[in-house]
Amino acid sequence: MGEFVRLEVEAGVGTIRLDRPPVNALNNQVQAELAEVAREAGERADVRAVVLYGGQKTFAGGADIKEMADRSYVEMSTFGADLSASLSVVAELPKPTVAAITGYALGGGLELALTADRRVAGDNVKVGQPEIQLGIIPGAGGTQRLARLIGPSKAKDLVFTGRFVEAEEALALGIVDQVVAPDDVYTTAHAWAAQFANGPAVALRAAKAAIDGGLDVDLRTGLKLETTLFTSLWATEDQETGMRSFIENGPGKATFQGR
């Protein structure tokens, strides 16, 4: 476990917990620990789904501006690549992921939330990509994942203005998927993740790979990817278990082993 990021596992759900007060700023150390913990969560068989969580006060306030301000272009070339790569490790987790957003998710914090498959937010949160106010642009997915999620026009509005977006607008735009009371954010996100704790892990991994991989290619190539992943599941125990259970007991009653 790192100093600022840790993995907590309970009943098949892993929580990647950021804990760098006061706002979980993503400095070099946090980025490195985040990637390390995400890799661990991806490899552990007892982790079937993952919650990203920054605590009750705030999800993540962005990159550490004090750390970045006086760096040279050469230094930032390395830092920027490392930042993007660390968040990509989270995005590529081969398991269902959900971000539990409290307080603020700004800049790199929103970019981290965008790596998740789903986002649950408190009704008092504010999200945004305010980098333009610093004379820069988002550098860890804010111009790419956000545009793919809500469309280029809406993404440009947020990136060009750098404005903060409150919970209801974030829900309407599609940045977040569910808005709940602040005290219910983590439990709601955890409940969504928990439904996969005993699910067909290999099929879930294939589903995520098919959707995410298909978004990066044309339709014809995406359909080929889907077919490959679809047919590959006939090599799993869960396919046999699921179909046999359906025939004998009806839908939704299979007990999967994740193999």
Q: Tokens standing for 132?
A: 């333009």
Q: Tokens standing for 188?
A: 């709601």
Quick check: 22 and 50 in contact, CB under 8 A?
no
The SS3 assignment for 190 reads helix
DSSP designation for 56: S
Q: Is 65 exposed, middle or buried (0-12, 13-18, 19+ CB in 10 A)?
A: middle
The active-site residue out of 131, 237, 240, 248 is 131
What is d(CA 140, CA 147) in angstroms, rounded to the nearest whole number?
A: 13
Specify whether 33 is catalytic: no
What is d(CA 145, CA 154) in angstroms, rounded to the nearest whole number?
A: 12
Quick check: 7 and 16 in contact, CB under 8 A?
yes
The SS3 assignment for 1 reads coil
What is d(CA 116, CA 80) in angstroms, rounded to the nearest whole number?
A: 20
Q: Is residue 101 within a helix (H) or strand (E), and if so which, with residue range?
A: strand 97-101
* CA distance readout (Å), 175 to 17, 154, 238, 256: 21, 10, 33, 32
The active-site residue out of 111, 168, 169, 240 is 111
Specify whether 111 is catalytic: yes
What is d(CA 236, CA 118) in angstroms, rounded to the nearest whole number?
A: 26
In 3D space, the residue among 61, 64, 98 whose CA is nearest the CA of residue 82 turns out to be 64
* Residues acting as catalytic residues: 111, 131
